[in-house]
Each structure stands twice: as structure tokens, then as C-alpha cells.
Amino acid sequence: QVQLVESGGGLVQAGGSLRLSCAASGRAFSRYAMAWFRQAPGKEREFVATISWSGGVTRYADSVKGRFTISRDNAKNTLYLQMNCLKPEDTAAYYCASGSGAGVTTLTYDYDYWGQGTQVTVSS
């Protein structure tokens, strides 16, 4: 059974930083691309960042480019999202997802396993 468990969310002031983690089990973590998505109240889930199986390729949403960094540690089966210069519009539940293949994709339906989410709230 595949499990993805996010942690690291919380309340932070605008301009602050948070580091999210996603611990994966039940699957060969290193074989698949991983990603972070987010969903704010009343809005659709949106792509944030993705990373290839090796970590060699990454992609970001324009809204977070230059502020967020996605990374992974395949030895620890863990995905990370370093979030700097946070803005109130970054407030959302953040979800990690495991892809159906090794390559990066920004499309929700290309990810077949999801965590339960961790809340990030940025105050102004």
C-alpha cells in the first residue's frame, strides 16, 4: 500500500520560509517523478513543482519560480519543498503526489498517489 505523508506546514508571516516534507512508502520511490500541488479554499488544485526520478529535472509554476525549490532524497524516500519569500496568496493546503512514470509532468491526472495534505497559512 502506497503512503505519502506530508509535514512541515504551519502559520508564517509574509516574507517568511517553510520547508515541507513528504515521506513515501509502499512503492519504489526512486523510480517515479514526484510533485507538489496546492489547493486554496474555493479554488481548484493547482500545480506547484515537480521533480524527475533522479532529481535532475525540475519544473515550477510561474507563481513560485525563484521562491520555491523542490528536491528529493531517494535514500530516505522523502520529497521536499523549500518555500521562501512566502506571500499571503501562497496560503493553501499543499499535497505531494507520486507520478505514474519517471518523467516530469504538471498535469494532475498523471499522478496516481496523493498525500492527505498539510496546511500552509501566510499572514500579511
Q: What is the pLDDT of residues 32-69, one digit of tens each?
A: 999 999 999 999 999 999 999 999 999 999 999 999 99
At residue 89, the 3 state secondary structure works out as helix
At residue 9, the 3 state secondary structure works out as coil
Instruction: Return phi, psi of residue 30, to 5°.
Output: -70, -10
C-alpha cell at 31: 523510480
Cα 71 to Cα 22, 59, 74, 100: the distances in Å are: 11, 11, 10, 18
Q: In this model, does residue 27 exceed pLDDT 90?
A: no
pLDDT value of residue 101: 82
Mean predicted confidence (pLDDT) in 1-9: 95
Q: What is the pLDDT of residues 59-105, one digit of tens each?
A: 999 999 999 999 999 999 999 999 999 999 999 999 999 988 878 89
Which residues face 98 on adjacent strands?
Answer: 34, 113
pLDDT value of residue 29: 87
